[in-house]
A and B are shown apart, each in its own frame.
Chain A
């Protein structure tokens, strides 16, 4: 019994951390409403989707640092596509395809060319954001829709109201974007735990050599997982423009790669790969959103935000890794 409890603790500590942070938020927000609760989902939507993609990459034992820049790049150009085509469908399609291509670029370099993912995605992190900023300045303002430092959707286009409405309205009291996050979390949980593709990702992350000798095409699956990660970033970018109607190439998605990694790790997925459950990512992402809200509720300086996030990450990992080791030592 005790054994089972401690197993559950190490496996699902992300729920415990989430509950603690949530309860703390309840006490400091004096009178939390249902709207306040569902708002957590709204603000977790973009980072949550991005984190789901990064989690799949991390499960294979790799890393993707370029997702934040992808978000800026894709959301910026999605705005352009909308301004030019006036089509919601094309904008959506563009976001996904562009994400897939950005991810595929990482994937081919990591999977087929066998370059270290840290370096490859560090490079594309620089590239994608820089491209977004460069073209934001250079392109015709009729296309970018804003000044030379902002991509802005034109409000005069027919579809704008629909798009912005989708990004900001609720369905059954929960924000639409929250539903999207829940849907894709469910999909990711299913894909990782109950499909053959998912099992291969875990196998590659757990022991690449064994996976290869069991017949798994490691380069192909690596490439695929980076492409999927890109698609998730594309989806996140689409939600971003729906919610904001604009994208700032300098700040949109800034540090999101780090928040995503933090959410993944907080969600109990091992950085070394092969271990962890996708459901943890949802809780990891929401935990970080709540921390933002706690800081607002306490009227603290928002610059202290990252300090608190960093400390919580260290404490959470300490609990996960040092906890069992400490117990072992006490036993002796």
Chain B
């Protein structure tokens, strides 16, 4: 019997950079297939090719015994493939049944909508699924878990044979996950197949039948879940890669600079930590684990809901960025383009933006003084730019990031919160950023680095706090920071193994 889905030798490059290097992927009817890999392994690209979001460069796809060529979104839908994205693609301002029938509305002779009939069909569908959603409710009012189920119902209504679930459990609580899994099992028994993308090991071992691991755009291994352990999978995902020379060295640490007690806020809770002057604390955790939200809250971008935050011994009230800045905290936010770049401004203007808010009552700008300061920081940080009057957008990612680092050094900040500082930066520039982080710590800055890239933490971190579902699940000392140990904790595979 031919496979339900057979993808062979898939290749894809984005502007010359290969993302998929001849990947094979196949699965059978009625199975839940876990697609595994680290961030950037090529999972999303592969799924986007399958669903016609992006075209492939080379390779072939066959679905349900038929070759699929020049895949487009409608074509893949017609073949019976549905993609339930992580950020759900429902229209909040429409009713539940209207979403299900979107673009497939039942109409009467004069084009009027047969609302009752659509609503009734939706009700029947939900009944079969064992889902309690009112077909007439506004989607906006639904819980995330209900939206997730609605997406699946929508896919089923469109006669999907294969449903791709991209991290479907991220926003769900345990009961909701159990409900979702129950429905998935029932559908599986009726012959629907699933590709399940997730980082959470316990779930994968609960629901999946088979797995395929990708790493750096290549196929690594496929097999039955029953024949492998979470530890082995983690090892396959991580591989033996190692890059760059390690410049890490042990430093003298000073008195406590950042003290947290039972610190809680939206997305994380009960964080207790003491970080000393000159220390580099790595913070990590998968998307949605709360590590990024934690950093933002320390910087005052959001208000905490409990616990205390002390900087240099003095308690700081959260909820105001300006207050955090006055307490000498600084944050390099994740997603540089969105959260750091002011695209219409020059390097110098971008660099001075934050300092200006601290010296706001001294209205005039002293250009010569600012340029001198820029030159000094340019020297320290090794920023490669011809002159300070260039637009920030004319620089490479790495150099932009250095300008933003300069923005904060210019405020005399002592606590640097770096959220994913090497995102979208090429390897050479990454190494330079690590070097700078180490150098700054040596000069007495206290640094928190939040990243998903473990090799990065091995290069810089004195300790590494691992977040899982909003809490610190483990703090590893420098010597124990190791990709697959970190992965074990951040997917909670440790406890999955103990439970199994």
Contact = CB atoms under 8 A, between A and B. Distances in A.
A206 B352 CA distance: 15
Nearest to B320: A217
A214 B363 CA distance: 18
B259 interface: no
A274 to B, nearest CB: 4
Contacts of A211: 342, 353
A206 B391 CA distance: 12
Given A195-B363, A199-B365, A213-B331, A207 B357 contact: no
Contact of B322 (A194, A197, A215): A215
A200 B352 CA distance: 10
Interface in A204-255: 205-207, 209-217
Contacts of A215: 321-322, 325, 353-354, 357-358, 411
Contact of B321 (A200, A206, A212): A212
Interface in A274-316: 274-275
Contacts of B1: none
B360 A207 contact: no
A136 B111 CA distance: 55
A213 B363 contact: no
Name which of B325, B342, B357, B365 has the most chain A CB atoms within 10 A of its CB: B342
A82 interface: no
Contacts of A199: 345, 349, 352-353, 356, 365
Interface stretch (B76-84, B92-100, B285-293, B333-341): B333-341
Nearest to A194: B365
A195 B364 contact: yes
B28 to A, nearest CB: 46
B402 interface: no
B357 A206 contact: no
Interface string B337-373: 0111111110001001110111110111101000000
Contacts of A275: 344
Given A215-B354, A216-B353, A196 B322 contact: no
B147 interface: no
A151 interface: no
Q: Which of A206, A207, A213 has the most CB of B within 10 A?
A: A213
B363 A196 contact: yes
Interface string B401-415: 000000100010000
Contacts of B333: 213
B134 interface: no
Given A197-B360, A199-B365, A213 B339 contact: yes
B357 A217 contact: yes
Contacts of A217: 322, 357
Interface residues of A, number: 22
Contacts of B453: none
Interface in A171-213: 194-197, 199-200, 202-203, 205-207, 209-213
B341 A214 contact: no
B203 interface: no
B344 A200 contact: no
B356 A210 contact: no
A323 to B, nearest CB: 19
Contacts of B407: 214
Contacts of A194: 364-365, 367
Given A197-B363, A199-B365, A214 B344 contact: no
Nearest to A208: B342
A98 to B, nearest CB: 25
A203 B353 contact: yes
B301 interface: yes
Nearest to B340: A210
A208 to B, nearest CB: 10
B331 A207 contact: no
A203 B325 CA distance: 18
B275 to A, nearest CB: 21
B357 A200 contact: yes
B121 to A, nearest CB: 39
Contacts of B356: 196, 199-200
Contacts of B352: 199
Q: Most chain-B CB neighbours within 10 Å: which of A197, A202, A207? A: A207
Contact of B341 (A207, A212, A216): A207
B355 to A, nearest CB: 9
Nearest to A204: B342
A214 B338 contact: no
A213 B301 contact: yes
B377 to A, nearest CB: 16
A213 B360 contact: no
Nearest to A197: B363
A254 to B, nearest CB: 34
Nearest to A207: B342
A212 B333 CA distance: 11
B404 to A, nearest CB: 9
A125 B339 CA distance: 35
Given A194-B364, A196-B356, A197-B360, A203 B331 contact: no
A215 B404 CA distance: 13
Given A215-B322, A216-B353, A196 B365 contact: yes
A214 B357 contact: yes
B354 A209 contact: no
Given A214-B407, A216-B353, A196 B359 contact: yes
Contacts of A216: 353, 357
Contacts of B363: 195-197
Interface in B312-326: 321-322, 325
B234 to A, nearest CB: 34
Nearest to B365: A194
B249 to A, nearest CB: 32
Nearest to A276: B344
Contacts of B341: 207, 210
B101 to A, nearest CB: 32
B343 A214 contact: no
A203 B321 CA distance: 16
Interface in A131-188: none
B342 A206 contact: yes
Nearest to B358: A215
27 contacts: A194-B367, A195-B363, A195-B364, A196-B357, A196-B360, A196-B364, A196-B365, A197-B363, A199-B345, A199-B356, A200-B356, A202-B349, A205-B344, A206-B344, A207-B338, A207-B341, A209-B339, A212-B321, A213-B301, A213-B321, A214-B357, A214-B407, A215-B354, A216-B353, A216-B357, A217-B322, A274-B345
Interface of A: 194-197, 199-200, 202-203, 205-207, 209-217, 274-275
Interface of B: 301, 321-322, 325, 331, 333, 338-345, 349, 352-354, 356-360, 362-365, 367, 407, 411
The 9 closest A-B pairs by CB, nearest first: A196-B356, A206-B344, A274-B344, A215-B357, A214-B353, A214-B354, A206-B342, A195-B363, A215-B354
Given A199-B365, A206-B342, A214-B357, 8 more contacts: A196-B356, A199-B352, A200-B353, A203-B342, A206-B345, A207-B338, A207-B342, A215-B357
